[in-house]
Amino acid sequence: MKKIKNRAYFAMLIALGLTFGIAIFTVRLFTDGKDWVMLRANQSVFNEGVMDTGTVTDRNGVVLASAGNGVYSYAEDETIRKSCFHAVGDYSGNIGSGAVNAYDYKLAGYDFFNGVASISGSGGKVKLSIDSELNAVAYKALNGRKGAVLVSNYKTGEILCMVSTPSFDPNNPPDLTNPAYEGVFINRALGATYTPGSIFKLVTLSAAIENIPDLYTRTFTCTGSVQVGGDTVHCTGVHGQQTIEQALANSCNSAFSEISQELGADKIYEYAEKFGFCKSLTISSIETAAGSIDKADAGTSNLSWMGIGQYNDLISPIAMLRFVSAIANDGTAKGPVLLKGAYAGSTRLLETETAQKIQEFMSYNVAYAYGQWQFPNLNICAKTGTAEVGDGTSHAWFVGFLKDEENPLAFTVIIENGGGGLANAGPVANAVLQAAVAK
């Protein structure tokens, strides 16, 4: 019997195998459970493949979208529905970067302990960092033009306003074959790239400050155009003798052509790459469109245009927002993030001294060139851009920040084919910033 007893112990090997298997499964459940619940066939989360649980709100708790028991709904106010359309996304899944799709795993309300069970039965909550009222102001200010508006707090990295147009009311979808709705499902703030035009001079300037020792003592002469490699680089005016400060305020192509030729394509590219203009960024786990900068050959007019923000330069509005945020924040970019209270990582893009110098220059831009009267009561630092797109029209850019401890706001406005940057994008930025400061 002793023998039989000893042999019986071998049966416990099976028990050991069972325990081992369960241990493996527990580990997998812990690491992969959040992906498993997102199976479209999971009827606790989806209803026929459509998100069926969870609520998206703005930073103040205003409900922007909610779903449950086979029914979903968007914000109550129509302008908020339109202005937050791209940030919130749609239940049909047309906008991949919208919260409903990008944060579906949060809306499922999954955690290892409770699975997708919640005491209210309404799933998880996603609190966006955007303020739906600011979005509504920006949407109205864009006034039917195509474009994007971004405003963030450069100290916390939270994006407070993110609007992309064209947009529509998800409760009353229009006829989307109308050309006015072309690309309506693209969030232009995150998912599009544009020719930057003169706002790119901030990048070239950063490189110049750190690489041209006598930059501040130099004089830049503008005769309305400059000959480079047999081509003519035209300027918007005849600016005469200028300091670097004045050249930026005049957005003088002649001056920046000279600087670009001196820096060379590699140096400009190096800075653009460091500032995140050549790659895709990850904003609260959303992948943005990747910008691209092509290096032009030395001694050609292309190199001049590369440093001026034309040539083959393409950047995304969100990358520009991050860059001006870094300038405003003495060289360190926070985030940006789209979720309220989310941890925003810090990245140093510029030396503190460089950043502070550019701050002065951008403040001078407003005082010397743009007109403080256009931005009442705002201590604003900015740069305009009027990017030629080749068909005779140009994108209107207006980027910058408020030098204001109470309202540390950075902004980027772009209007597609909107004409002059200051005249068209400037008022949109002013409207949103006035509303944000008034809060």
Binding site for other proteins (CB under 8 A): 1-12, 14-15, 17-19, 21-22, 24-26, 29, 32-34, 36-39, 41-45, 110-117, 119, 121
Q: How far is the CB of 283 from other proteins (least distance, A)?
A: 27
Residue 302 CB-density burial (10 A; 0-12 exposed, 13-18 middle, 19+ buried): buried
Concatenating the DSSP letter of every residue in 3-56 gives HHHHHHGGGHHHHHHHHHHHHHHHHHHHHHHHHHTT-TT-TTTEETTEE-S-EE
Q: Which of 383, 58, 387 is nearest to 250 (CA)?
A: 383
Q: State the nearest-atom distance from the C-beta of 167 to other proteins, in Å.
A: 33
Of 315, 92, 85, 105, the closest CA to residue 187 belongs to 85
Report the residue number, 17 or 341, with the smaller CB distance to other proteins.
Answer: 17
**CB of 107 or CB of 159, closer to other proteins:** 107
Min separation Cβ 120 and other proteins, Å: 8
Between 23 and 238, CB nearer to other proteins: 23
Burial class of residue 190 (count of CB atoms within 10 Å of its CB; 0-12, 13-18, 19+):
buried
- Shortest reach from residue 74's CB to other proteins, in Å: 24
The tokens for 145 are: 């033009």
Closest approach, Cβ 28 to other proteins, in A, equals: 8
Phi, psi of 233 (to 5 degrees): -100, 115
Report CA 343 to chain centroid distance, whole Å: 16
Q: Is 26 or 143 the residue whose CB approaches other proteins more closely?
A: 26
Q: Which residue has the tokens 């003592």?
A: 217
- Of 120 and 177, which has the nearer Cβ to other proteins? 120
Residue closer to other proteins, measured from CB, 14 or 71? 14
